[in-house]
Amino acid sequence: MIPGVVDLNLGELSDEELSEVVEAARRELAERQTGAAIVRDVTEAVDPIIRENRGLLGDGWQSGRLSWDGHCMRVEDPGDDPEPLAVAAVEPVAVEPVPEPVAYVVGENYPAGTVVEWDDRLLTVTKGHQATDAWNPDTKPDWFSEEV
């Protein structure tokens, strides 16, 4: 007999008891499969990011491994040391809002950084200026950069 395993004679159970055992087994199997699927999916998503940022995690890091105990997911160092890898918090990066493009119109002032629409293209003004007929993206291309 295996330690921790209950010897259960299914033939001695009533239909109701057997139904409860089957339902409990289905729930347990579903939880195990769900946990394994979560670990697999998250590992596939996280491993490439960890590999690309290995320098942030220390010299010994090779690739990621996730474990799931049903309540908590942990990233572990795949080396001999079973201790979980502690990852320092990263300060969030402020993202500047993308300015709305404006039509490039003669007579308007365009400070550097303004996004303008010209000839069905989006351009960023690199040299602030007041638009004239002679100063536009076609005649002064070095005053603009293509928007990506």
Listed by start position, the domains of the chain span: 10-76, 102-146
CA 90 to chain centre: 14
Beta bridge pairs of residue 99: none
Alpha helices by DSSP H, the chain: 15-52, 54-57
Ramachandran class of 107: left when φ > 0, alpha when ψ lies in -120 to 50, beta otherwise:
left
Question: What is the band of 40 on the pLDDT scale with cuts at 50, 70, 90?
Answer: confident
Give 8-19 pLDDT, tens digit per residue. Answer: 787 888 888 888
Distance, CA of 52 to CA of 49 (rounded, Å): 5
pLDDT for the residue 124? 92
DSSP 145: E
What does the pLDDT read at residue 24? 84
93, pLDDT greater than 70:
no
Confidence at 106, pLDDT banded by 50, 70, 90 = very high
**Topology (CATH level 3) of domain 102-146:** Seminal Fluid Protein  PDC-109 (Domain B) (2.10.10)
